[in-house]
């Protein structure tokens, strides 16, 4: 048999060639090798509510979901998702035709783009973007058109003129993410209204990733794009249990959308995983019905953690963009006399025993993201306090 590894033709196809390995693998290996505190990858270091774990155990024991669940997801979860959207946002969705359960938000993003994007279509996305967006647009044969969020007045802002200019006759959809990873920005009502107007005016579809819908702080408010005039019928809203309930390993996500959009997305989804996470779907249905105190408790806990880490970074001399949402804080390293976030993050484990992610990797315009680094604060308080101490002690100043 021929040695495929030395074949002149690259094994990885052209669509994926630029997405070889992710920065997370490199940084996590570095964290391990140097015994650093890993604030790179965004997963909580404590599990979600005990009663939700127990609900999963019960489902497993009772034989609920141990065999292929229904393609659209178990009815209990679809009903719970619809009830959540109605209760929180006044949005009504039919659990049978307007809700689809997916293998995390990740599959929802992939299935939506594979279903809705024709080769050559342009997809306008906010930059920096979540790392799977670019790869999924590429898999769908689409062309990504980034609109850069730029820091101004203490937060990363969307330039509405730039967004308008990015839309052409070939634009198929807007891919939006709010609360936004990695910048921590929560798009304002005004920004969202402008996005909605543009989508209606140019007759665009919108895919909106709202997995951090419950992680908003201070005066910020999460407003789903689907609540704006003309948006319900053109918007695929994506969310997931991973961030809201601190079970990122369960991979239970969902979309809510008009029936035709759900049908389209399901056409792609059925050939990706078909179904997933059977017993966990029942547990997440129960989680979505937790009392309001759970959600406010999660928010308060994370807000306090944000403040610990932000204070540490400020004391270490970085410029901090205090996030209004998500569990990430983005900081500018230029006050330290540095400008290359990639080099900074490669050196930081040796220098301070802390791992962060250079946000340049989430940009097409790498130079726009060069001085920014992202730290996750979904970790236990003592871990964050120790990280803050190390950063300060590393003589970052
Ligand atoms: C974590 C994350 C996802 C992935 O969610 P899963 O439910 O774990 O697949 C999607 N989008 C954003 C912006 C995220 O941060």
Is 181 close to ligand 1, i.e. is its CB under 6 Å away?
A: yes
The DSSP bridge partners found for residue 374 are: 330, 357
Q: Six-digit token pair at 137? A: 């647009």
- The answer to whether residue 1 scores a pLDDT higher than 60 is no
The whole-number pLDDT of residue 331 equals 97
Q: Six-digit token pair at 273? A: 């995983």
pLDDT-based confidence at residue 394 (cuts at 50, 70, 90): confident
pLDDT-based confidence at residue 4 (cuts at 50, 70, 90): low
Measured distance CA(100)–CA(106) in Å, rounded: 13
Is 177 close to ligand 1, i.e. is its CB under 6 Å away?
A: yes
Is 253 close to ligand 1, i.e. is its CB under 6 Å away?
A: yes
The whole-number pLDDT of residue 145 equals 98
Query: pLDDT tens-digit profile of 266-308?
Result: 999 999 999 999 999 999 999 999 999 999 999 999 999 999 9
- Closest by CA to 374, choosing from 317, 309, 299, is 309
> Can you tell me the mean pLDDT for 112-120?
97
Measured distance CA(72)–CA(95) in Å, rounded: 9
Averaged pLDDT score across all residues of the chain = 95
> Can you tell me the mean pLDDT for 183-208?
98
pLDDT-based confidence at residue 20 (cuts at 50, 70, 90): confident
R_g of the chain computed on alpha carbons: 21
Residue of 102, 179, 212, 242 to mutate, ligand 1, most atoms within 8 A of C-beta: 242
The DSSP bridge partners found for residue 237 are: 208, 256
pLDDT-based confidence at residue 69 (cuts at 50, 70, 90): very high
**Closest residue (by CA) to atom 7 of ligand 1?**
104
Phi, psi at residue 329, to the nearest 5°?
A: -120, 135
Residue of 104, 175, 269 to mutate, ligand 1, most atoms within 8 A of C-beta: 104
Whether omega before 143 lies within 30 degrees of 0, making that bond cis, reads: no
Phi, psi at residue 348, to the nearest 5°?
A: -60, -40
The whole-number pLDDT of residue 3 equals 58
Could you identify the residue written with the tokens 């940009």? 363
pLDDT-based confidence at residue 163 (cuts at 50, 70, 90): very high
Measured distance CA(389)–CA(313) in Å, rounded: 9
Phi, psi at residue 83, to the nearest 5°?
A: -65, -40
- Closest by CA to 184, choosing from 218, 160, 161, is 218
Is 130 close to ligand 1, i.e. is its CB under 6 Å away?
A: yes
Helix (H, G, I), strand (E, B) or coil at 285: helix
pLDDT-based confidence at residue 237 (cuts at 50, 70, 90): very high
Query: pLDDT tens-digit profile of 352-369?
Result: 999 999 999 999 999 999
pLDDT-based confidence at residue 22 (cuts at 50, 70, 90): confident
Tell me the whole-structure pTM to 2 decimals: 0.96
Ligand 1 atom nearest the C-alpha of 181 is: 13
pLDDT-based confidence at residue 397 (cuts at 50, 70, 90): very low
Q: How far is the CA of 105 from the centre of ligand 1 (A)?
A: 5
- The answer to whether residue 54 scores a pLDDT higher than 90 is yes
The whole-number pLDDT of residue 395 equals 57
The whole-number pLDDT of residue 21 equals 75
Which alpha helices (H) appear in the chain, and where do they start and end? 23-34, 50-61, 75-89, 104-116, 131-139, 160-166, 189-201, 241-245, 259-269, 278-288, 292-315, 341-352, 366-369, 381-393
Is 44 close to ligand 1, i.e. is its CB under 6 Å away?
A: no
Q: How far is the CA of 396 from the centre of ligand 1 (A)?
A: 31
The whole-number pLDDT of residue 298 equals 97
Is 326 close to ligand 1, i.e. is its CB under 6 Å away?
A: no
Measured distance CA(310)–CA(137) in Å, rounded: 33
Q: How far is CA 112 from CA 94, 224, 263, 264, 287, in A?
A: 19, 17, 10, 8, 25
Measured distance CA(144)–CA(113) in Å, rounded: 11
Ligand 1 atom nearest the C-alpha of 107 is: 9
- The answer to whether residue 316 scores a pLDDT higher than 80 is yes
């Amino acid at each position: 048999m021929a040695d495929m590894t030395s074949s002149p033709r690259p094994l990885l196809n052209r669509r994926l060639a630029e997405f070889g390995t992710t920065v997370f693998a490199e940084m996590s290996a570095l964290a391990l090798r140097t015994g650093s505190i890993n604030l790179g990858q965004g997963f909580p270091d404590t599990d979600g509510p005990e009663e939700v774990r127990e609900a999963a155990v019960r489902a497993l024991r009772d034989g609920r979901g141990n065999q292929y669940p229904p393609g659209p997801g178990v009815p209990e979860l679809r009903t719970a998702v619809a009830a959540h959207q109605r209760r929180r946002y006044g949005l009504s969705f039919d659990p049978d035709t307007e809700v689809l359960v997916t293998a995390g938000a990740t599959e929802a993003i992939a299935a939506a783009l594979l279903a809705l994007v024709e080769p050559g279509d342009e997809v306008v996305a906010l930059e920096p973007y979540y790392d799977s967006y670019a790869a999924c647009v590429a898999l769908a044969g689409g062309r990504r058109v980034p609109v850069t969020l730029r820091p101004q007045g203490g937060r990363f802002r969307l330039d509405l003129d730039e967004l308008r200019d990015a839309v052409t006759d070939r634009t198929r959809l807007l891919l939006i993410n709010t609360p936004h990873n990695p910048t921590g920005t929560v798009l304002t009502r005004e920004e969202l209204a402008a996005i909605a107007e543009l989508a209606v005016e140019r007759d665009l579809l919108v895919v909106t990733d709202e997995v951090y819908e419950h992680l908003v702080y201070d005066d910020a408010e999460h407003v789903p794009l689907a609540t704006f005039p003309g948006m319900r019928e053109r918007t695929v809203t994506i969310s997931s249990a991973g961030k809201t309930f601190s079970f990122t390993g369960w991979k239970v996500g969902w979309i809510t959308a008009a029936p035709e959009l759900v049908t389209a997305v399901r056409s792609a989804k059925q050939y990706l995983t078909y179904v997933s996470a059977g017993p966990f779907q029942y547990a997440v249905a129960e989680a979505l019905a937790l009392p309001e105190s759970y959600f406010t408790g999660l928010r308060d806990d994370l807000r306090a953690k944000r403040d610990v880490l932000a204070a540490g970074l400020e004391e270490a001399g970085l410029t901090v963009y205090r996030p209004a949402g998500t569990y990430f804080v983005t900081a500018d390293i230029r006050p330290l006399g540095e400008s290359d976030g990639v080099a900074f993050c490669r050196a930081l484990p040796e220098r301070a025993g802390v791992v962060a992610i250079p946000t340049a990797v989430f940009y097409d315009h790498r130079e726009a993201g060069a001085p920014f680094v992202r730290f996750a604060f979904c970790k236990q308080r003592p871990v964050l306090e120790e990280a803050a101490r190390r950063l300060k002690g590393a003589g970052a100043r």
